[in-house]
Amino acid sequence: MILAFDSFYFSNKAKTVCLLFENWEDAAPYSILSEITEGVADYEPGEFYKRELPCILSLLEKVEHTIHTIIIDGYVTLTDKGKPGLGAHLYQSLDPKVPIIGVAKSGFHENSKLVRELHRGESKNPLYITAAGMSADEAYDNIKKMDGPYRMPTLLKLLDKKTREALPE
C-alpha cells in the first residue's frame, strides 16, 4: 500500500488523515484513516517534525497493510547539506525500511540539489519533491504519474480536504 499523510492544526490539537492506495495512478483511495491528537507541540521553524511526527506515528499504528511508500506534506530534507525534515525523521523512525516522499507546495531556502521541482498540469508553480529510501528522481516520477490534471494530484487534494472537514469544536 502507498500511504499519504497530512495534518491540520487547531487549538492544541491536530487532525491527521492517512489515505491508503494501491497504485500511483489510482484516482480514489483504498481507504481513509483519521485521528485527533491532543496536546501537540507548538510550531518551531525548521523543526516542524516535532509537531507532526508523533501524529503520523500514532495513526500509522492503525495501518494493517504492508506499506510500500509513504508520502508526506512537507520535506524529507530541508537543505542541500541534508538537514533532516519531517520525512527524514519519519524514515529514521521506521528503521529505514519504508521509502518516504516529501511533497511540498513552497520552496525552502538552501535546498536546490536534493529537491526536484515538478510542474503538473498547466500550473506555473511547481511541487517540491524530496525523498529518502529512493532517489529524488524516482519520487518525482511517482508523483508525476499520479492521477489528476492539476498541480496537486487528485488523491493529495482529497487528503488536504479530509484534514479540514468535520473538525470537532
Residue 157 domain flag: yes
Q: Which residues contact 11 (CB under 8 A, 6 or more apart)?
A: none
Residue 29 domain flag: yes
Contact yes or no for 118/129 (Cβ under 8 A): yes
Element (H, E) at 128: strand 127-132
Residue 60 domain flag: yes
When divided into structural domains, the chain yields a total of 1
Q: What is the pLDDT of residue 168?
A: 62
Burial class from Cβ neighbours inside 10 Å (0-12, 13-18, 19+) for residue 135 reads exposed
Residue 160 domain flag: yes
Q: What is the pLDDT of residue 111?
A: 81
d(CA 4, CA 17): 8
CATH number at residue 116: 3.30.2170.10
d(CA 138, CA 143): 9
Q: What is the pLDDT of residue 95?
A: 84
- pTM, two decimal places: 0.94
Residue 56 domain flag: yes
Residue 63 domain flag: yes
Q: Which residues contact 64 (CB under 8 A, 6 or more apart)?
A: none
Q: What is the pLDDT of residue 60?
A: 97
The tens place of each residue's pLDDT in the chain, 169 residues long, gives 999 999 999 888 999 999 999 999 999 999 999 999 998 888 877 677 888 999 999 999 999 999 999 999 999 999 999 899 999 999 999 988 899 999 999 987 788 889 999 999 999 999 999 999 999 999 999 999 999 999 999 999 999 999 998 766 5
Domain residues for 93? 2-164
Burial class from Cβ neighbours inside 10 Å (0-12, 13-18, 19+) for residue 148 reads middle
Residue 169 domain flag: no
Q: What is the pLDDT of residue 109?
A: 76
Residue 83 domain flag: yes
- Residue in 124, 125, 126, 142 with CA at minimum distance from that of residue 134: 142
Q: Where are the alpha helices (DSSP H) in the chain?
A: 49-60, 86-93, 136-144, 154-164
